[in-house]
A and B are shown apart, each in its own frame.
Chain A
């Protein structure tokens, strides 16, 4: 029987799993080590961690390996793993000011307190394929490392200070440039969308949590649509920083803050043009949007900051003109999770023959209805013609 192929599930599933493994390994190349993935595919690992919403570099490296580099699949593996873990306690609020920065730039001012620091950035690289990377060897790697370390030693400042900078946004706040956040009921503890389903209107902490685990591509699209023309966003980058953030928790008995480790993170603040918010406020001020990701994810952090700002303004009815889909909080938050969106889109691969059979019956009845209708119409016309000619 031809259709039986869709049944007999168990064997088919096991065979499919084996075939996937076979395809991954069939070239016979040396298996990737997790540490190689963690170090050499750090963007893939970072993206898996921020969309998978779990900071665990080695597990993320495993997820990337297992997913054969598919970013949504890798995030999905981490998210599913996260569900097996108990939430022990929230960390204490962290300020980006505590970051040990490797990079920190601002587009708002030429000179900022602490100065601009380009850091590790591909922004000004000429994007030509690099054949040297293709032919890397252990020796060439050692040579590159040695050369860079020499450079660092030579350039080390006398006081040995590294990477702590004041925040540009704090300066702007001092100068009364930034509008205070709209008041929200009980913000003592952030909303946790993994414990309570998001409902609308939602607090800003739910929005930020939701965006921070959103799909990079999706956030980028919404943010882009908003700045390109389907929106009223006019962002300026106040500050973008990448580096290491200490994580602290309160000691369960003494309440004392204890540092439990460091995470690699990207933080972004954008301010948007004052006229948008001016209408409702006595003093025109900029509106601030906030973006944050695990790892080094600048495009996502900027997109998130733009969306946060647009959504805050939309909520305060501060947008003018065409606000576009990016200003619709429910629309943005409910459609930006890559794992949910890909899961549902892919579910159409599942058998639907019961629903299709039911659809067929409805189609049959609709056809009958159309036929009956056109027949009765023909009859009506015939009758009228007769009446007219009589």
Chain B
């Protein structure tokens, strides 16, 4: 055993053959848009369910000159994002950033950044539950056959029942979509807000589920059709009149915060602001400079 306090790990933590296996499966995932490709999924020093799928993808693709951004809930400073970034930074030494436009690889949980991503960027999504059919068919062997045969009838029935019972397509996140006209895919726990941002995008989207041991991909310029009915269309969370309390944006995904003013006058209240914090910060800064600028 090494006597130094810090052990030397492989660049990108996992061994080269494990990386190679992930790489092979990523290429297959791209060639089969929306299809879940099994991969061996090594154990990482991060718990299963905490982003190990996304991490393995990032570890397999990352190069020393990449610039990395890691977010959780859209937030760079969320504890889990900090933790994953720390592991990747310590085992690769790459530059990290909070600026979406400066990153070459963005690893994320639950959000797609608000700023449109470019063709030279890759978004790596951490996936907890891989299979949209899990709602109707928990058995993997049978669900795999259903995907193979495009046998999606039961899922349509499930969606229809949710409309009848709840008056809405009840699935809030992990909304099922059809990719490139063939495979039904789970959109990870991104909100509906982000679902259509996968459609015909410029960037490549890679999805990794470590515990479920699956990788899937949405290449750029690939069609994404959410499951919906003629008389019941897919809707995002957007509510008319919504506004970010910090930056004033009217077209972003908002999350609620409980706020107590410094004088504790009102005992606190809820307010909504952008979940993409770095984007929100940028806008706050721009607002401040425009206000200060002479007329």
Contacts and interface: CB of A to CB of B under 8 A. Distances in A.
Direct contact of A and B (CB under 8 A): yes
Nearest to A213: B43
A1 B257 CA distance: 8
Interface string B54-81: 0000000000000000001111011111
Interface in A211-265: none
A87 B79 CA distance: 33
B259 A355 contact: no
Contact of B18 (A13, A83, A201): A83
A330 B140 contact: yes
Interface size class of B (residues with CB under 8 A): 35 or more
A337 B12 CA distance: 25
Nearest to B170: A362
Interface stretch (A20-28, A40-48, A364-372): A364-372
Question: Which one of A200, A342, A361, A366 has the highest number of Cβ atoms from chain B below 10 Å of its Cβ?
Answer: A361
B35 interface: no
A2 B259 CA distance: 5
A62 B1 CA distance: 11
Given A197-B213, A344-B128, A358-B172, A1 B166 contact: no
A343 B50 contact: yes
A354 B21 contact: no
A10 interface: yes
A195 B170 contact: no
Contacts of B211: 340, 343-344
Interface string A350-361: 111111011101
Contacts of A81: 45
Question: Which one of A8, A357, A358 has the highest number of Cβ atoms from chain B below 10 Å of its Cβ?
Answer: A358
Contact of A83 (B44, B78, B86, B173): B44
For the residues of A in contact with B, the DSSP-based class is: helix
B42 A194 contact: yes
A1 B259 contact: yes
Interface string A305-322: 000000000000000000
Contacts of A347: 47-50, 128
A381 interface: no
Contacts of A366: 166-168, 170
Contacts of B43: 76, 79-80, 82-83, 339
A199 B193 CA distance: 33
Nearest to A200: B141
A12 interface: yes
A217 to B, nearest CB: 17
Contacts, number: 189
Question: Which one of A3, A339, A369 has the highest number of Cβ atoms from chain B below 10 Å of its Cβ?
Answer: A3
Interface string B239-266: 1000000000000011111111000000
Contacts of B48: 339-340, 342-344, 347
Interface in B170-211: 170-173, 189-193, 211
A351 B213 CA distance: 23
Nearest to A7: B77
A59 interface: yes
A340 B192 CA distance: 28
A76 B46 CA distance: 9
A357 B141 contact: no
Contact of A358 (B38, B81, B128, B191): B191
B16 interface: yes
A214 to B, nearest CB: 14
A84 B172 contact: no
Contacts of B172: 355, 358-359, 361-362
A358 B39 contact: no
Interface string B29-45: 00000000011111111
Nearest to A83: B42
Contacts of B229: none
Nearest to A77: B45
A154 interface: no
A86 interface: yes
A128 interface: no
Nearest to A54: B43
Contact of B141 (A196, A330, A355): A330
A9 B18 CA distance: 30
B258 A2 contact: yes
B47 A342 contact: yes
Given A2-B260, A13-B82, A354-B110, A83 B14 contact: yes
17 contacts: A12-B79, A77-B45, A79-B43, A82-B42, A86-B16, A197-B38, A197-B40, A200-B140, A346-B50, A351-B80, A354-B73, A355-B172, A355-B173, A355-B191, A362-B166, A366-B166, A370-B167
Interface of A: 1-3, 6-10, 12-13, 58-59, 62, 76-77, 79-87, 193-201, 330, 334, 339-340, 342-347, 350-355, 357-359, 361-362, 365-366, 368-370, 372-373
